[in-house]
Amino acid sequence: DAGVIQSPRHEVTEMGQEVTLRCKPISGHDYLFWYRQTMMRGLELLIYFNNNVPIDDSGMPEDRFSAKMPNASFSTLKIQPSEPRDSAVYFCASSLRGSADTQYFGPGTRLTVL
């Protein structure tokens, strides 16, 4: 298996622009997680899905952030409008049995908002 795939790997955008991050989980994994990592706050869970259904979005910072999972092999995280404080590395991860199981992380998307 190719592992968790994320795109783009790097994104530089200007404040106010819409940003869409994409993730393809490992085939057969029923859980998908979106994390954000910064020096100040570390690795934080934003939202996770089980069988394409959002289960816990309490980590989504505000209404500017939204996430969807239209099918078992694809998810998006959208920021609209983006702000400089959104600059971070965004990771997608997937697992078979949720947080009680090994989570496999994608390579991440490094987002810079100018």
List residues binding another protein (CB under 8 A): 31, 33, 42-45, 48, 50, 55-56, 91, 97-103, 105-108
Least distance to another protein, CB of residue 48, Å? 6
* Amino acid, single-letter form, for residue 65: F
* Residue in the structure block whose two tokens are 């259904």: 53
**Which residue lies nearer to another protein by CB, 85 or 97?**
97
**Which residue lies nearer to another protein by CB, 82 or 103?**
103
Contact indicator for 7, 108 with CB cutoff of 8 Å: no
**Which residue lies nearer to another protein by CB, 30 or 76?**
30
Burial of 53: CB neighbours in 10 Å, binned 0-12, 13-18, 19+? exposed
Least distance to another protein, CB of residue 78, Å? 21
Least distance to another protein, CB of residue 16, Å? 28
Distance CA 104, CA 61 (A): 23
**Which residue lies nearer to another protein by CB, 56 or 68?**
56
